[in-house]
Amino acid sequence: MPLRSYLDGRVFAEVSDGPGPLIAGLHGWGRDRNDLRTALAKYRRILIDLPGFGLSAPPPAAWGAAEYAACVAAVLADQHRGEPAVVVGHSFGGRVAVCLAAARPDLVRGLVLCGVPLLRDSGAAVPPLGYRVARRAHRLGLLSGQRFEIIRRSRGSDDYNAASGVMREVLVRVANEAYDAQLGVISCPVALLWGRADRAVPPSMASRASALLPAPAVTEIVDGAGHDVHLQAPARLTALAGQIAAASRVASC
């Protein structure tokens, strides 16, 4: 499929032309445009390497999901002259999709969200005392950066430990974001696809997020699937993308 560059070569995307509503695919953290190709293969689509992943350059600063959404909006405006798309987002890409739909409803005709950490976990644990002491000592110059990095990596996630530089800063920033306000203003049709065995973002997140949406959402929980529900049950995502595309046509009439 054709691979095109946008924004002066800073962002790359795979584009498939054809009839029907445009589908935009936004991948999860540590992935790239290939991650959603199977599920969206039958559609006219644009699969974007989000900045810092695949072939796209990292952002110039520690962006949050809103800044990523503004970047995606610029890509859609460049390629399709502002044509609204059904936006499919997995995990991190779903964070971006929600911010895009809230800020630029003119560009989003529908959303399909898969395993997206949309809201904060009210039961989040306070870091252990030993870590907090080490962090304070590092800030005061009493503990070297190298030693503190070893301590931090020992309790960091795989994504955190694999990231570096500005991308680690991006990860920390988005991990502390929640999208209650954005969910509350989304006016387009929405579908939520979750794996029942998702340990990264449990299915209860789907019901919590759905309760904040102004209109009822289509929700599917897939037995036997985990966080990678888009890879483990691609046919379910294919069908939901088509369903939301059809619903968005009706809603716009």
Q: Residue 170 falls within a domain, yes or no?
A: no
In degrees rounded to 5, what are phi and psi of residue 195? -90, 135
Distance CA(55)–CA(50), nearest Å, equals: 9
44 shares its domain with 109: yes
In degrees rounded to 5, what are phi and psi of residue 89? -130, 130
N-term to C-term CA, the chain: 32
Q: Residues 87, 119, 198, 214: is their CA dihedral positive or negative?
A: negative
- pLDDT for the residue numbered 140: 76
- What does pLDDT average to in each consecutive run of 10 residues of the chain (253 residues)? 90 89 96 97 96 98 98 91 91 98 96 97 59 69 70 63 90 95 97 97 96 96 98 98 87 50
Range of the domain at 160: 129-165
23 shares its domain with 140: no
36 shares its domain with 158: no
For the beta carbon of residue 150, count every other beta carbon within 10 angstroms: 11
Q: Are strands 85-90 and 22-26 parallel, antiparallel or unpaired?
A: parallel
11-16 β-sheet, strand order = 3-6, 11-16, 45-49, 22-26, 85-90, 108-114, 190-195, 218-222
102 shares its domain with 25: yes
Say how many CA atoms lie within 13 Å of 64 toward its Cβ: 10
Q: Is the pTM of this model over 0.85?
A: yes
Q: Residue 172 falls within a domain, yes or no?
A: no
- pLDDT for the residue numbered 36: 98
- pLDDT for the residue numbered 253: 39
- Counting the structural domains of the chain, the total is 2
Closest residue by Cα to residue 59 from 37, 74, 77, 41: 74
